Amino acid sequence: MNIQIACIPGDGIGPEIVQEAKKVLDRVCEKFGHTIEYTDVLMGGASIDAYGVPLTQETVDICRSRAAVLMGSIGGDAATSPWYKLPPDKRPEAGLLAIRKALGLYANLRPAYLFPELAASCPLAAKEGGRNFDLIIVRELTGGLYFGERWTKDIDGVMTAQDTLRYNENEIRRIIRTAFEIAQKRRKKVTSVDKANVLDTSRLWRKIAAEIAQDFPDVAYENMLVDNCAMQLVRDPEQFDVIVTENMFGDILSDEASMITGSIGMLSSASLNETSFGLYEPSHGSAPDIAGKGIANPIATILSAAMLLRYSFALTAEADAIENAVKKTLADGFRSADLMPKTDDAEGLTKVNCREMGDRICERI
């Protein structure tokens, strides 16, 4: 197969981690007899520096012409970067919102599972028999508060801001159905998260979710308020299989879920449209404080590349090969800086930099 993808290295550590993901993709394609072509494009701060805007139409057009997009990370230090002196719609993150809308990427999938080798890094209190969770958050990505009408203006001498939270039944229906379809391939449980005790949008969300659930009698279904879900993720993450929720709630909960794995540097993500097209990126940010130091953890981006092969190209064996190589690398004791124990107990572990981690994973494919 000839695999054609667009690459957005992005800002901060983005170029470093994308380079390692490309290296791993090259290795797996070599092993399985595929060819792969990359087209690099700019978005975020890098695009602002080059073109004055966070996303150009050329970048959108190139991404549309490929089967998938692999992305690093977008943004910089809001306190020091000149990018954040620009109007909000010209800042790096505006490019991210715009490309999601332009490509129709309505479903964000963020898996969160605990590698046995990293159990000691999990910040949750230990329990008898150890922790063992494997969940996925399905987040609606192109509607809700982030895309509603917003304004800031003076009203009778008082500066006032407003953001509008809006969903229609079709937007809700397609993301709920996506969650149930994913659950059918996993452990057959969906937890729909809302704030139906307060919000009209959540009451509509819950009504539609209940209707969709009737089409999937083999999948267990429950509703949970978002504040309770935030608590339950810390108390007992093992209870969850598939969590589905709206845009802002999903943004917050998925970051929380990523941290209970021990490091946000381990968590991949996929943003999909209604075809097999997807944009794949790590769940973490651009970490400008460590950019250029070679110490970033590339595993989340490498696992995102595995999701790319699985979801956009249906290359299951190839995706498995990458994921198994990551597991083997961790089992063999290799750790990036963020994965090293915070105590002096590092016996049997080898600290490696970003490039070396990519090399170790390639060796195990």
Together in a domain, 273 and 248: no
Which residues are known to be catalytic? 146, 195, 227, 251, 255
Are both 246 and 344 inside the same structural domain? Answer: no
Consecutive 10-residue averages of pLDDT for the chain (365 residues): 96 97 98 97 97 97 97 94 94 94 94 81 61 90 93 96 96 97 96 98 98 98 98 93 97 86 84 94 92 95 97 96 96 91 76 97 97
In terms of residue numbers, what domain contains 279? 1-113+264-365
What's the number of domains the chain is made of?
2
- According to the model, what pLDDT value does residue 118 have? 78
Return the pLDDT at 263: 74
At 220, list the tokens: 């267990």
Q: Is residue 118 part of a domain?
A: no
Based on the fold, state whether residues 334 and 322 are members of the same structural domain: yes
Residues 254 and 144 placed together within one structural domain of the fold? yes
Q: Is 152 exposed, middle or buried (0-12, 13-18, 19+ CB in 10 A)?
A: exposed
CATH of the domain at 136: 3.40.718.10
pLDDT at 22: 98
Buried b / exposed e along 95-125 (16+ C-beta atoms within 10 A) = bbbbbbbbbbbbbbbbbbebbebeeebbebe
Res 210: pLDDT: 98
Phi, psi of 135, deg, nearest 5: -130, 165
Same domain? For 192 and 315 the reply is no
Are 97 and 136 part of one and the same domain? Answer: no
Q: Tell me: do 313 and 351 sit in the same domain.
A: yes
Residues 244 and 284 in one domain: no
Helix (H, G, I), strand (E, B) or coil at 71: strand
| Same-domain check for residues 221 and 157 | yes
What is the H or E stretch that residue 94 is in?
helix 92-102
Yes or no: say if 282 and 304 are a contact pair by the CB < 8 Å rule.
yes
Q: Which of 260, 280, 300 is the last residue of a domain?
A: 260
Residues 17 and 136 in one domain: no
Q: Same domain, yes or no, for 255 and 270?
A: no
